[in-house]
A and B are shown apart, each in its own frame.
Chain A
Amino acid sequence: MADAVTPEAAPPPPPPPDWRTSPKLVTARFGSEEAKTLAGYEKQGGYQALRKALGMKPEDITAEVKASNLRGRGGAGFATGVKWGFVPKDAQEVHLVVNADESEPGTCKDRELMYWDPHLLIEGIVIAAYALRARHNYIYIRGEMMREYAVLVKAVEEAYARGYLGKNILGSAHECQLTVHRGAGAYICGEETALLNSLEGKRGQPRLKPPFPAIKGLFNDPTIVNNVETIMNVPFIVDKGGAWFAALGPGRSGGTRIVCVSGHVNKPGVFELPMTITMRQIIDEVCGGVWKGRKAKAVIPGGVSMPPLLESELDVPSEFDALQTDPRIHPVEVRPGQLFDLGGGRNLRTMAGSGGIVVLDDQADIPMAIWRIMKFFAHESCGQCTPCREGTGWLEKVSRRVAFGAGKPGDLDLLSSIAHGIAGNTICALGDAAAWPMLGFLTKFRADFEAKLPQRAGVAA
């Protein structure tokens, strides 16, 4: 659809690589029991990138990561090398913390990555820690992932025993201590400052930014928090170079990307794909189409925090910038005709987020789906900011009564108003994460919500 307010040019379409034959990096060892052991991982070429990295200067590794256009795979898509560059040069103590608190609904890649290839993650950590001059480093893993916790603890023990962790790694001056830190059930701990508070043994409540963690993070030291998939790409960048990695992806987005496809498709799964692939190709070609011969009605492109796409908007590439700016995606409205302002007059279309794609077929109950999403956010709000604590609760209550046919006239405006009151008014992005899908679904599926409201007086039979 045309965007009448702020026309933004679509990125020029690059020649798309065939997803069937495009390279697999972080998922290449999926299914290999051998690779889960240190010996097997070494046999398959593991820890060679670390050897190469230790022969480089730390700042040259950061430069390669900058050149690679690697962007954070946890949700925000921020340039990883740029983030690393924020650490003050004269910092005495720096920490790398890997965010393995995967819990954005629809996202199931980091759990698989840690299960199948724990040593690739450790190798990425040791390299990144070398680049950052970070000695005491942590993997913060979600509490419910007990199987993966056991896998990581074993792999870390192996790596210590073999000298890939500890002091004087492979005879160098590099020291990298690594501790697997287990959470205990809280979605908010995926937010990086909440994660740091949780790691410090506090309740997982986000911190005000600035200061950003790269300046003042864990134990008040400069800290880089990176997602599991992000860090696992680092050995490939060191091995083959930033330029090689950048060329795998379009525009400002280097490398491949994992998407997790769930919901109403024939073949759900976790797939590492070129980012040029369109949402429609992912559904039709990679996942065998919508199940039961139906059509897609709504597609959540990057975890439930992100506004949905209509079936008519699926020809957009799955890449970060395309999903944010492609004018074929209708922007989110506060209410019919009034665009939502993301700040500075920017429109909110949607985002690639965490790579969790959820497909809802043409018979799906949209108000019921949004109620379940709001129930999640109401449950997970940390309670620190009033707009989020109270607002998510009201979004859940009102969306529930609409979904179950007990809505009242004016409820849709009420939902809009509550969501708009949360967005931008909280310490962290959880509030936005609740408001955006609420407004997005109302923008694109208003008729579905209206159909659930009681008939107006005088019209009902």
Chain B
Amino acid sequence: MSLEFSADAQKKITALRERYPTSQPVVLAALHLAQKEHGYLSDEALQLVARTLDLPYAHVFGVATFYTMFRREPAGKNVLRICTNISCMLRGGYDVLAAFEKKLGVKKGGTNGEFTIVEEECIAVCANAPAIVCGTRYFLDVEPGQVDAILDELRKTPRPEGEVV
């Protein structure tokens, strides 16, 4: 089935198109928007981006699969990006990751529909390690014992990544 952008997304794409000499530089923003509106980047969503920007499908496919934030399958409402890189690892980042996996019954890379767990590379919050970013919300100096409080907060106030696209 052929997908469409909402009027709001189409407006954003049109405005962004003015900022560049060609349509190709808009591809990341258009992919972010397509992912927001359609949940993930299905083949149809990639076709939508290709059609909208008048780019070859193969180009859009190549770009979409290069960047880690683009998903080819559905994700939870909240994407928990849990850093385990060196600064976080040294202060218990892997314990934090394991605590979320256990509590949610979801392995890294997986989802239960409500939450997706991503083992993230350094998210530039090293001085408050271990750290998690979920949309526009950072969780700092996280301890495994805080898992319930963090999940409760996100259930009450979800932080979908599409919020700022």
Which of B29, B67, B126, B133: most chain A Cβ within 10 A?
A: B126
Nearest Cβ in chain B — how far from A68, in angstroms?
A: 26
- For A186, give the chain B residue with the smallest CB separation: B67
Cβ–Cβ < 8 Å partners of A204 in chain B:
66-67
Are A105 and B87 in touch, CB under 8 angstroms? yes
Q: With A179-B19, A184-B28 as given contacts, are A107 and B124 in contact (CB-CB < 8 Å)?
A: yes
Are A108 and B69 in touch, CB under 8 angstroms? no
Cβ–Cβ < 8 Å partners of B163 in chain A:
146
Q: Complex: how many Å from CA A136 to CA B81?
A: 33
Interface size on B, residues (CB 8 A): 49
Are A185 and B87 in touch, CB under 8 angstroms? no
Cβ–Cβ < 8 Å partners of B161 in chain A:
146
Among A163-171, A231-239, A368-376, A390-398, the stretch that binds chain B is A368-376
Cβ–Cβ < 8 Å partners of B44 in chain A:
none
Q: Complex: how many Å from CA A58 to CA B124?
A: 34
- Return the CB mask of A292-308 against B: 1 if under 8 Å, else 0: 00000000100010000
Tell whether A36 is near chain B: CB-to-CB under 8 Å: no
Are A105 and B24 in touch, CB under 8 angstroms? no
Are B24 and A106 in touch, CB under 8 angstroms? no
**Contact for A364 among B26, B90, B136, CB less than 8 A:** B90
- Return the CB mask of B93-129 against A: 1 if under 8 Å, else 0: 0000000000000000000000000001111111111
Are A143 and B69 in touch, CB under 8 angstroms? yes
- Return the CB mask of A353-366 against B: 1 if under 8 Å, else 0: 00010101000100
Tell whether A89 is near chain B: CB-to-CB under 8 Å: no
Q: With A369-B86, A380-B121 as given contacts, are A201 and B24 in contact (CB-CB < 8 Å)?
A: yes
Cβ–Cβ < 8 Å partners of B127 in chain A:
108, 260-262, 268-270
Q: Complex: how many Å from CA A387 to CA B36?
A: 37
Q: With A183-B28, A184-B32 as given contacts, are A144 and B81 in contact (CB-CB < 8 Å)?
A: yes
Tell whether A281 is near chain B: CB-to-CB under 8 Å: no
Tell whether B62 is near chain A: CB-to-CB under 8 Å: yes
Q: Complex: how many Å from CA A300 to CA B126?
A: 13
- For B161, give the chain A residue with the smallest CB separation: A146
Are A376 and B19 in touch, CB under 8 angstroms? no
Tell whether B135 is near chain A: CB-to-CB under 8 Å: yes
Which residues of chain B in 125-165 are interfacial with respect to chain A, using CB atoms and an 8 Å cutoff?
125-129, 133, 135-138, 161, 163-164
Which residues of chain A in 96-155 are interfacial with respect to chain B, using CB atoms and an 8 Å cutoff?
102-108, 110-111, 136, 142-147, 149-150, 153
Q: With A105-B87, A203-B63, A358-B86 as given contacts, are A144 and B24 in contact (CB-CB < 8 Å)?
A: no
Are B91 and A263 in touch, CB under 8 angstroms? yes
Cβ–Cβ < 8 Å partners of A142 in chain B:
124
Q: Complex: how many Å from CA A380 to CA B32?
A: 20
Cβ–Cβ < 8 Å partners of A185 in chain B:
67-70
Q: Complex: how many Å from CA A247 to CA B3?
A: 60
Q: Complex: how many Å from CA A107 to CA B85?
A: 11
- For B65, give the chain A residue with the smallest CB separation: A203
Are A372 and B25 in touch, CB under 8 angstroms? no
Are B32 and A182 in touch, CB under 8 angstroms? yes
Cβ–Cβ < 8 Å partners of B133 in chain A:
144, 146
Tell whether B27 is near chain A: CB-to-CB under 8 Å: yes
Q: With A146-B135, A181-B28, A263-B87 as given contacts, are A106 and B122 in contact (CB-CB < 8 Å)?
A: yes
Cβ–Cβ < 8 Å partners of A105 in chain B:
85-87, 121-122, 126
Are B125 and A304 in touch, CB under 8 angstroms? no
Are A379 and B121 in touch, CB under 8 angstroms? yes
- For A205, give the chain B residue with the smallest CB separation: B66
- For B29, give the chain A residue with the smallest CB separation: A182
Tell whether B48 is near chain A: CB-to-CB under 8 Å: no
Tell whether A187 is near chain B: CB-to-CB under 8 Å: yes
**Contact for B25 among A106, A200, A263, CB less than 8 A:** A200
Cβ–Cβ < 8 Å partners of B29 in chain A:
181-182
- For B67, give the chain A residue with the smallest CB separation: A184
Which of B16, B21, B161, B163: most chain A Cβ within 10 A?
A: B21
Nearest Cβ in chain A — how far from B60, in angstroms?
A: 9
Tell whether B47 is near chain A: CB-to-CB under 8 Å: no
Nearest Cβ in chain B — how far from A316, in angstroms?
A: 21
Cβ–Cβ < 8 Å partners of B16 in chain A:
179
Nearest Cβ in chain B — how far from A54, in angstroms?
A: 24
Which residues of chain A in 215-271 are interfacial with respect to chain B, using CB atoms and an 8 Å cutoff?
219, 260-264, 268-270
- Return the CB mask of B5-33 against A: 1 if under 8 Å, else 0: 00000000000100111111111110110
Sample 10 A-B pairs with CB under 8 A, ordered by A number.
A104-B122, A107-B122, A143-B28, A144-B69, A184-B31, A187-B121, A201-B27, A203-B62, A263-B91, A300-B86
| A-B contacts besides A103-B124, A184-B69, A376-B122, 20 pairs, CB < 8 Å | A106-B122, A107-B122, A111-B125, A144-B120, A146-B161, A147-B136, A150-B164, A179-B16, A183-B28, A184-B31, A184-B67, A184-B68, A201-B55, A262-B87, A264-B91, A300-B86, A304-B85, A358-B126, A372-B85, A380-B121
